Amino acid sequence: MRIFAAAIASVATLSAAPGAIAATQPGYLNMVIASPPDPNAKVPVFDAIPGADVGTLAVAFPQAVLQHGNVYIYWISFHDLTFNGTCTMSYDITQKIGTTTKKLQGGTILKFACSSPGIFGAGIAGKPLVNSPGLATLTGTVAFGSTKEKLSTTILIQ
């Protein structure tokens, strides 16, 4: 599987100002998406938009309606505010069937050394999506050491 990863170690706006408040968590997930793979392997990508005067992220258009049998790229990005250590990024797709929540797909995207402050993103091509039509939940997780932060979004499998 191909892993897409990028890290930006210093962002000007992240410098702690005098009197800055303490973050309540080590980092903040801001994106978990499924999108089609790029046959030209240009996206997802950081800093590839010509002429931009800020750091940039470009991803294939996020999709909420996913077709079974298709392969998607699962991408997570987060803002590390205070954590230095091992970060592990993962995703899973779960579906509630009756009273049971079943995991349809998922796995680790990337395990790496986080340094704060920074913005990180990584994605992975999942397996062909199983045939399990209906609403499901796509969840991204980042483990900052032993502290986990999650972000979930609703998807529809067809």
- Nearest approach in angstroms of CB 148 to another protein is 13
Beta strands in 73-133 (DSSP E): 73-80, 85-97, 100-114, 118-125
Q: Which strands form 3-8's sheet, in the order they lie side by side? A: 3-8, 118-125, 73-80, 27-35
Question: For residues 43 and 90, which CB has a smaller minimum distance to another protein in the complex?
Answer: 43
Q: Supply 70's token pair.
A: 């298709």
Question: For residues 30 and 94, which CB has a smaller minimum distance to another protein in the complex?
Answer: 30
- Nearest approach in angstroms of CB 98 to another protein is 7
Calpha distance 50→45 (Å, rounded): 12
- Nearest approach in angstroms of CB 102 to another protein is 12
- Nearest approach in angstroms of CB 97 to another protein is 7
Question: For residues 67 and 94, which CB has a smaller minimum distance to another protein in the complex?
Answer: 67
Kindly list the residues in this chain that would bind another protein in the complex (CB under 8 A): 8, 11, 13-14, 17, 20-21, 23-25, 27-31, 33, 35-43, 45-46, 48-65, 67, 70, 77-79, 81, 97-98, 117, 119, 133-135, 151, 153-156, 158
Cα–Cα nearest to 66, from 91, 33, 17, 103: 33
Strands 65-66 and 147-157, by their bridges, are parallel
